[in-house]
Structures are given as C-alpha cells and as structure tokens.
C-alpha cells in the first residue's frame, strides 16, 4: 500500500512540475550538447541590417532591433549612431521600420513580446551608462517611452504574470527589476545600486531574452574563450532563468556557427515548438552578411 501511495505521489509531483512550465520550456529542457540540429534554410535579409541585436517572431513576421554605428565609441566616449527597429517577412523583405533612442542613446538590445507590445531597451554604446526603455505596439509600431535608467540595459523581458520588467546589463552581469502598475507605468523608483542583482551564471553573456511563462525567461548568448595558442573559441548557448531568484534552472550549449565563425546565438534569436521538436531562428552576422538561419531538431 505504501508503495502505491509513493508511486502516486511521484506521478502527481511530475505532473505538477510539468503543469508549471510551458510546452516550449519542456522541449528546451530536452536539449543536450549533442542534440542534432538540421539547417532548414539560410535566408539573406534584403535590406540594410547594420548590427542586429534582438528578435521576436509574431505570426509570419519578424521584428528585429539593430544598431547603426556612424562613429565608433573610443576611449570611453559614446560614439554616434542610430537605433533601428525592423519588421520583415518570411522572405527577408523589409515591411516597415522605425528609429529609437535619442542623442548618445542609440544602441537597442534584446527584445521581448508580451502579446501586445514589444519591449525594447536602447542604451549608450558603453557599459555603466544610461538607457531608455520603450514599448512598441506590434500592430501599429507606435512607440511609447516607459522609463529612463542610469545603467546600460542590454536586454529586457516582461513577466506578464507578475507585471514586472527584468533588465540585464552590459554583458548580462547584473539584473534589474521594476514593478509595473495596471496601466503599465513603472512603480519602482530606486537607483541602479539599490536594484542591482548579480547574475551568478558566467559561461555565456546573454544577448537576447524572451519570457517563457511561469516567471522564467529563455536567454541566448555566447562567450569568447581564448586558448594558450591565441585561438579564440566562440561558444553559444541557451539558458532558462528563474525570474524570482534570478538563477539559471537549465543551461545547454548550442554548437552551431555561421560561415563567418560567429556563434549562431551571437545576437538575435527566436525558438518555437514544432510537432516533433523545436525550430530556432538566428541572425548572427551584420550588414550584407546578415542571414536568417532556420534550424530544426526532432526530440524524443
């Protein structure tokens, strides 16, 4: 009898655990370093992309942030540039575009879609600087400034269940969190020093993050590792992060590289479920080399 009760409790606990995560999260957690990814398509983008940063896919359209550098930052200055936000279709054709930022604040980062708005951080092109957080209506591309913050925010996620924003700093070394009210206004009024939470994960720096549900986000990124002989290895990966304690709950390397040698997870990404597994979209390269790589994997 005790055996049956124990088995029942185990089944219930497994069911409860899976009920606490989305199908996408469940499938991502089936990935391993040895997962076989098959390239389905390599689609050249038919417009000037500059330096792509973050991406979301809504229906058959892609929305991507990017930075155009006019004058590169030097010796700690801000440089000059323009923040872009593109909408393009499944053929790589540009549908529409807008610009974001002002003055020295021109570097968009990783983006998130909450079902109505696309959240976009735009920062100075240097660490420990300042940012403007925008939300853009996905239907109309109408821009609304949400807040300003004295730190470089390089990626942002909207936890729609707690109605909080989670921002990651330059290199994703620190996290910042802000409470929103029912009207989407920021209620948290505190300095970066008061809000700062250190990221305990180091093997990749997050470049782009998306809300998964149940107070978790999926982040993509890479890290460069130098060998004694001078060679540099770029390792990319996915991480699922618990937004409550800001700690990773799942980490997996993604051993895919573009022809240029950049990790596929170098910047913009999107992942969705398929009947048999997952489909992933990446844009790792800049300018005329910008290509939308589409990969699929079957999971058992």
Q: Where are the domains of the chain?
A: 22-298
CA distance 82 to 140: 21
CB 86 within 8 A of CB 58: no
Of 198, 195, 208, residue with least CA distance to 66:
208
Which option is the CATH number for 22-298: 3.40.50.280, 3.40.50.1110, 2.115.10.20, 2.40.40.20? 2.115.10.20
CA distance 230 to 187: 48
pLDDT at residue number 288: 97
**Stretches in the chain below the pLDDT threshold 70:** 1-20
Mean pLDDT of the chain, nearest integer: 94
Whole-structure pTM value: 0.92
pLDDT at residue number 21: 83
pLDDT at residue number 246: 98
Q: 91 CB contacts (<8 Å, ≥6 apart)?
A: 43, 46
CA-to-CA dists, residue 22 to 26, 89, 214, 252, angstroms: 6, 26, 8, 18
pLDDT at residue number 2: 45
**25, two tokens:** 């999260």
CB 204 within 8 A of CB 235: yes
Q: Which residue is associated with the tokens 């001078």?
A: 230
Q: Are strands 80-88 and 94-100 parallel, antiparallel or unpaired?
A: antiparallel
- Residue by residue, what is the 3-state secondary structure of the chain? CHHHHHHHHHHHHHHHHHHCCCHHHHHHCCCCCCCCCEEEEEEECCCCCCEEEEEEEECCEEEEEEEEEEECCCCCCCCEEEEEEEEECCCCCEEEEEEECECCECEECECEECCCEEEEEEECCCCCCCEEEEEEECCCCCEEEEEEECCCEEEEEEECCCCEEEEEEHHHCEEEEEEECCCCCECCCCCHHHHCEECCCCCCEEEEEEECCCCEEEEEEEEEEECCCCCEEEEEEEEEEECCCCEEEEEEEECCECCCCCEHHHCCEEEEECCCEEEEEECCCCHHHCEEEEEEEECC
pLDDT at residue number 20: 58
């Amino acid at each position: 009898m005790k055996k049956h009760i124990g088995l029942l409790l185990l089944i219930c606990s497994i069911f409860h655990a899976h009920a606490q995560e989305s199908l996408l999260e469940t499938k991502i957690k089936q990935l391993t370093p040895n997962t076989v990814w098959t390239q389905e398509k390599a689609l050249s983008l038919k417009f000037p992309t500059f330096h792509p940063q973050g991406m979301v896919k809504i229906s058959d359209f892609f929305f991507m942030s990017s930075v155009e550098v006019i004058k590169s930052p030097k010796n700690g200055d801000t440089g000059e540039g323009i923040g872009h936000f593109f909408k393009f279709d499944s053929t790589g054709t540009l549908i529409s575009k807008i610009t974001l930022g002002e003055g020295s604040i021109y570097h968009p980062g990783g983006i998130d879609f909450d079902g109505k708005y696309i959240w976009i951080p735009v920062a100075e092109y240097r660490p420990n600087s300042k940012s403007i957080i925008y939300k853009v209506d996905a239907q109309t591309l109408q821009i609304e400034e949400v807040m300003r913050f004295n730190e470089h925010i390089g990626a942002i996620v909207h936890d729609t269940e707690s109605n909080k924003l989670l921002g990651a700093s330059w290199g994703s070394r620190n996290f910042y969190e802000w409470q929103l009210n029912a009207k989407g206004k920021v209620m948290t009024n505190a300095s970066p020093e008061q809000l700062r939470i250190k990221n305990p994960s180091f093997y990749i720096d997050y470049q782009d993050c998306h809300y998964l549900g149940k107070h978790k986000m999926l982040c993509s990124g890479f890290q460069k590792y130098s060998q004694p002989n001078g060679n540099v290895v770029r390792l990319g990966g996915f991480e699922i992060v618990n937004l409550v304690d800001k700690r990773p709950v799942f980490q997996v390397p993604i051993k895919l590289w573009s022809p240029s040698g950049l990790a596929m997870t170098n910047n913009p990404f999107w992942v969705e479920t398929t009947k048999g597994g997952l489909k992933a979209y990446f844009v790792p390269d800049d300018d005329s080399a910008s290509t939308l790589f589409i990969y699929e994997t079957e999971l058992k």
